Structure 1
Amino acid sequence: MRILVTGATGFLGGAAARALARSGHAVTGTGRDPQQGAALEQAGMRFLRADLKDDPAPLLQNIDAVLHCAARSTLWGHWRDFYTDNVTVSAALARACALRGIRLVHISTPSVYNAASQTRNVPESLPIGPRFDSLYARSKFLAEQEVRFYVPGAAILRPRGIYGPGDTSILPRLARALRSGRLPRLTRHEVYTELTHVQNVVHAAKLALERPAAGVFNITDGVSVPIWATLDQLADVLKVPRPTRFVPAAVVEQAARLLELAYRLAPGAPEPPITASGVRLLTRPMTLDLTRARERLGYVPVIHPEAGLNAVLEGLK
């Protein structure tokens, strides 16, 4: 199959492009980083340096399927940027795929569930919106709607907390917070969530490309992970103190909101050191129902979280 992978110079897109190429597919990757693009070409793939805000039609010549990994994926930013990069780009790409009859697999996020009341065994059918807990979540939900409008047969994957070799977000951020010594204990009880090793996301995407199934699919490692026990384990690996000073999450979240407001009032301000969404990720449980992915995609995780997390933690030493 001739597959276009957007965001192929990024964490997930790069892993997906390489795995698909190893499986015998003819892979074309897009991205903005020429150095990473050269690495893809050395691995036998075709690389197109492209800005997806431009017309995507030229990228789809001689393409059978698209895996859309590119996105503005952050808890901080301006709505116009989230809308352009996540909604407008996804809509244009989906429309172009529809005109050419090209299979589309779109990477979304379970962050769209964050404002819902249900937090355990969350199914894809859970009603969501119109309120979201971050601009990122709102933009990804609107992107899903555009994709489903233009390509009703698209597969939309919602992987929770992607981590693994090459991750520059979740565990590295937590490592920086622990090394700084400023991360307090935000809850007196354990909080359980789910994560997804990057190779499990790649596996799910490969299934969705090779065994087309329409709809939205939750994707995780399939095992609950204790957030604070994992933070303690990470602190031990880094040889830094475990978080022990207790500060109620509500207090920290309110302080984060005020800090965000101050940063937004300052033109060109960077991301604040804490955000309200980031606090909630450490204090709000979230587990997902994988029934649909198992039954319709045949999804079974290929990496167990214990092995996957241990390998990543060792790499952060």
Structure 2
Amino acid sequence: MTILVTGATGFLGGVTARALAEAGHEVRGLGRDAARGAALQRDGVRFVAADLRGADWDALLAGVDGPPVEGVVHAAARSTLWGHAADFHADNVAPSAALARACARRGVRLVHVSTPSVYNATGHTQGVREDTRVGPRFDSLYARSKWQAEEAVRAALPDATVLRPRGIYGVGDTSIVPRLAAALRSGRLPRLTDREVWTDLTDVRNVAHAITLALARPAPGVFNVTDGQAIPLWATLDRLADTLGVPRPIRRVPARLLEGIAAALEFGARLHPERPEPPLTASGVRLLTRPMTLDLTRARERLGYAPVVTPGQGFADVFAALRGGAA
């Protein structure tokens, strides 16, 4: 199968593109980073330099100097808790809609990677199902844009598969673990709750596995994806601190107080002409203090999904890489 993977020079896209190439598919990896593109080439993925904004999707799917694309994995996105609404729309909504329309015109299978962040403002936190009603309020511009992208994809291509993987981590992670590690090393991270916070996360290899299943087994609709086992977040942070050789967070600060401070910082940043990212966001605080587990019934029954990596193994690999200086 000839597959185009967007965001292939990113974390999820890179892991997915390599996994698909190793499985024998002809994979084209779309991205902007030439150095990472060269690394993809060495691993059997044909690198295609392109920007999502204004991309000629019909030409990319046609395969001008090769066979036409049969499947697309749209893993590229602006993934941050802060930014300008126009940028989120330009990077998340508009390209997703244009790509879905092109796939519809050419009869190409599409697997669109979204996020469970769309659930954050619903008030549901345990065993959240895909049919949970979301909107019109969202807790971040990122979540809003990903929901709008989902809506655009479904409108253009009802047969598309939309995946919502929760908190992607793993060796090579450029977001979750590095940010937490930086906060622990700086000593700025207080302990925000007296109770443990149980939450779902997803090893990147499990997401790549779900994507592979979605390409092989047509399954229209939205699917939650996680490791299938909730982890104790603060106990995991303690293990991360031990691995880094830094003190565990012990200074206690009420979560509501810190969330209020974050909201004030956000308000000040919005008043600034350049809207610089504040050092703390309310959404970021909530990620450390509010549980979130997702129901996987639909993914198990319709995709045949079962996690291939447990959280225990996933974090063991991450901590081993940190000790070896590879993550």
User: 1:156: Cα distance to partner?
Assistant: 0.2
Q: Aligned equivalents of 2:222 and 2:75: distance in 1?
A: 15
Deviations 1:159-188 (A, max 9, x none): 000000110100110011011111111111
Deviations 1:213-255 (A, max 9, x none): 0000000000011111111111111111111111111110110
Q: TM-score, normalised by structure 2?
A: 0.95
8 A contact 2:198–2:233 mirrored in 1: yes
Matched with 1:60 is 61
- One-letter amino acid matched to 1:59: L
Q: Aligned equivalents of 1:141 and 1:269: distance in 2?
A: 23
Q: How does 1:39-118 map to 2 (within 5 A)?
A: 39-54=39-54, 55-61=56-62, 62-118=68-124
- One-letter amino acid matched to 2:58: A
SS of match in other structure, 1:178: helix
1:163 aligns with 2:169: yes
Q: TM-score, normalised by structure 1?
A: 0.98
Matched with 1:259 is 265
User: 1:91: Cα distance to partner?
Assistant: 0.3
Matched with 1:7 is 7
Q: Aligned equivalents of 1:148 and 1:194: distance in 2?
A: 26
Deviations 1:138-167 (A, max 9, x none): 000000000000110000000000000110
- One-letter amino acid matched to 1:39: A
Matched with 2:228 is 222
Matched with 1:147 is 153
1:247 aligns with 2:253: yes
SS of match in other structure, 1:118: coil
SS of match in other structure, 1:257: helix
Deviations 1:242-275 (A, max 9, x none): 1111111111011011112222333445422211
- One-letter amino acid matched to 2:237: L
Q: How does 1:155-304 map to 2 (within 5 A)?
A: 155-268=161-274, 270-304=276-310
Q: Aligned equivalents of 1:44 and 1:246: distance in 2?
A: 49
SS of match in other structure, 1:218: strand
Q: Aligned equivalents of 2:318 and 2:44: distance in 1?
A: 27
Unaligned runs of 5+ in 1: none
SS of match in other structure, 1:39: helix
- One-letter amino acid matched to 1:307: Q
Picking from 123, 133, 141, the partner of 2:139 is 133
Identical residues among aligned pairs (%): 66
- One-letter amino acid matched to 1:19: A
Q: Aligned equivalents of 2:262 and 2:208: distance in 1?
A: 34
SS of match in other structure, 1:316: helix
SS of match in other structure, 1:232: helix
User: 1:42: Cα distance to partner?
Assistant: 1.7
1:32 aligns with 2:32: yes
1:122 aligns with 2:123: no
User: 1:84: Cα distance to partner?
Assistant: 0.9
List structure 1 runs of 4+ shifted beyond 4 angstroms: none
Q: Aligned equivalents of 2:44 and 2:199: distance in 1?
A: 37
SS of match in other structure, 1:136: helix
Unaligned runs of 5+ in 2: 63-67
Q: Aligned equivalents of 1:309 and 1:271: distance in 2?
A: 29
Q: Aligned equivalents of 1:12 and 1:227: distance in 2?
A: 22
Count of residue correspondences:
317
